[in-house]
Amino acid sequence: MSNKIYDMLIIGGGPIGLACGVEAGKAGLDYVIVEKGALTNSIFNYPINMTFFSTSDRLEMADIPFMSIGNKPNRTEALEYYRRIFSHFDLNVKLYEAVQTLEKKEELFHVKTSKGEYQAKNVVLATGFYDLPNLMNIPGEDLPKVQHYYKEPWPFINQKIVVVGGANSAVDAALECWRKGAEVSMVLLEEEVDQAVKYWVRPDIVNRIKEGSIKAFTQSRLKEIHEHEVVISTPKGEVTIENDFVLAMTGYKPNFGLLNQLGVKLSEDEKCQPQYDEQTHETNVQGVYLAGVVCGGLNTREFFIENSVVHAAMIVRDIVGKLKK
């Protein structure tokens, strides 16, 4: 382990983690960003044809313009924009380096990764929530034909697929696969797809369901998955249909394992929201800060890139103030 001690170690190389690095650099802090995958790994893992809900100007940071062809940028444009942020500010980012253990000893944090060990006075968790899918915990979920991430429709041409979920990712997958020739069925917990689905997409899926092009099992749950069929629990009883692939677009959750290692307290309700000061973003553990969607726990719809970028300046301001004492 190196004897070097960083002022600030940031876990997560997504947009908010990069924003923390930018602010740390401006403040003259000695920092490092550790990312377990590619730069902005969550965005990299988005569907290839994904379009953001937000306009490009609302995703900007550090006074660097975000130029996109359309009003709403796509995945490729976002990847390029954040690459430019990384390059312009010469951010100290360690890629493909997963954090394995976190421990606080006296006043320092000791962080062991898949490639090395670090020491830091402060740790910022900017881990997002896209890395761990919400499992259905049903028989057959571990079969190879079940996927919790959707990339593109081409593997599903002429296949019978079931899409579980009614939010944006599920709707995008259902429509794209149907348009490429898949036979698509959706399993929805509610009576219809989510009201929060992108406003320019929702009428499309509603009409496809209404006309019968896409079959929707509403107020239903996927009960079992078998090699060539699935069992669905519906208000009228169990239904078994032929099936080749299951796209379980059931949402994602933060990495609570890292929070637990550090002793960050979570709320005891269904949100499991980490405890932190809304002015400084420091948790109940001194020197541990939260940035981005991880602040919401399981409530992943409250924090977005555009309203979380400000977390970076709040955190760095607090750390600088402490280091000056």
The rounded distance, in Å, linking the Cα atoms of 38 and 210 is: 40
Would you say residue 129 has pLDDT above 80? Answer: no
206 neighbors 193 (Cβ within 8 angstroms): yes
DSSP for 226-273, please give it. -SSEEEEEETTEEEEEE-SEEEE---EE--HHHHHHHT--B-SSTT-P
The predicted model gives 243-268 an average pLDDT of 91
Same-domain status, 150 and 213:
yes
Same-domain status, 124 and 264:
yes
Same-domain status, 122 and 213:
no
The rounded mean pLDDT for the chain is: 94
The rounded distance, in Å, linking the Cα atoms of 259 and 193 is: 33
The predicted model gives 91-100 an average pLDDT of 97
Residue 304: what pLDDT?
Answer: 83
**Final residue belonging to a domain, choices 213, 248, 283:** 248
Same-domain status, 123 and 67:
yes
Nearest to 31, CA basis, from 39, 45, 20:
20
Residue 277: what pLDDT?
Answer: 96
Would you say residue 43 has pLDDT above 70? Answer: yes
Phi, psi dihedrals of residue 10, rounded to the nearest 5° = -110, 125
Would you say residue 32 has pLDDT above 90? Answer: yes
Same-domain status, 270 and 305:
yes
Report percent pLDDT > 90 for the chain: 80
**Which tens digit of pLDDT belongs to each residue from 135-156?**
999 999 999 999 999 999 999 9
Label residue 271 by pLDDT band (50, 70, 90). confident
Would you say residue 175 has pLDDT above 70? Answer: yes
Residue 106: what pLDDT?
Answer: 86
pTM of the entire predicted model:
0.88
Helical (H) or strand (E) element with 87: helix 75-88
Give the least confident one: 88-97, 152-161, 207-216, 270-279: 270-279
Same-domain status, 175 and 239:
yes
Structure tokens given for 260 = 């637990």
The predicted model gives 153-173 an average pLDDT of 96
Label residue 82 by pLDDT band (50, 70, 90). very high
The predicted model gives 222-228 an average pLDDT of 98
Helix axes 310-324, 15-26, angle to 10 degrees: 40
Would you say residue 130 has pLDDT above 80? Answer: no
Same-domain status, 283 and 239:
no
Residue 1: what pLDDT?
Answer: 58
**Final residue belonging to a domain, choices 216, 248, 280:** 248
Same-domain status, 263 and 122:
yes
The predicted model gives 93-109 an average pLDDT of 94
* Count of domains for the chain: 2
Measure CA 159 to chain center: 28
Phi, psi dihedrals of residue 163, rounded to the nearest 5° = -105, 120
The β-bridge relationship of strands 117-120 and 108-113 is antiparallel
Same-domain status, 111 and 215:
no
Nearest to 40, CA basis, from 89, 75, 3:
75
Nearest to 177, CA basis, from 148, 206, 150, 153:
153
Label residue 208 by pLDDT band (50, 70, 90). very high
The rounded distance, in Å, linking the Cα atoms of 37 and 35 is: 6
Helix axes 168-179, 202-211, angle to 10 degrees: 60
Residue 257: what pLDDT?
Answer: 87
The predicted model gives 260-269 an average pLDDT of 91
Same-domain status, 94 and 139:
no
Same-domain status, 150 and 207:
yes
**Final residue belonging to a domain, choices 248, 265, 285:** 248
The rounded distance, in Å, linking the Cα atoms of 114 and 212 is: 49
The rounded distance, in Å, linking the Cα atoms of 66 and 13 is: 18
Domain region containing 39: 5-132+252-324
Nearest to 18, CA basis, from 96, 72, 116, 87:
87
123 neighbors 109 (Cβ within 8 angstroms): yes
Same-domain status, 267 and 306:
yes
